[in-house]
């Protein structure tokens, strides 16, 4: 599974990445985190607000920092 963090490196993007790492560790899911920080690549996902989180290429949330618990639920459902 691939968890993608879409953002330019702002503090909110970094917090989302940290929460994703925590969620992966807590859930025991075999997943890798990929940070996408190039604006052109972010726009290919159709994301207009960052930070955003995608799982296996599907955008799950944008414009907010999800908690580790919220991300864990998404990982279980993926």
H/E stretch holding 60 reads: strand 58-62
* Active-site hit among 1, 10, 26, 43: 10
Active site residue 10: yes
Active site residue 23: no
* Active-site hit among 13, 52, 53, 61: 13
> From CA 14, how far away is CA 28, in angstroms rounded?
21
The DSSP bridge pattern shows strands 32-36 and 52-55 to be unpaired
Structure tokens at 6: 């879409």
Structure tokens at 64: 């907010």
Q: Which positions are annotated as active-site residues?
A: 10, 13
């Amino acid at each position: 599974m691939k968890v993608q963090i879409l953002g330019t490196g702002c503090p909110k993007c970094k917090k989302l990445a940290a929460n994703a790492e925590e969620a992966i560790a807590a859930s025991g899911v075999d997943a890798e985190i990929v940070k996408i920080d190039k604006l052109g690549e972010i726009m290919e996902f159709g994301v207009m607000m960052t930070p955003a989180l995608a799982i296996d290429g599907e955008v799950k949330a944008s414009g907010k920092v999800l908690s580790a618990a919220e991300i864990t639920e998404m990982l279980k459902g993926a």
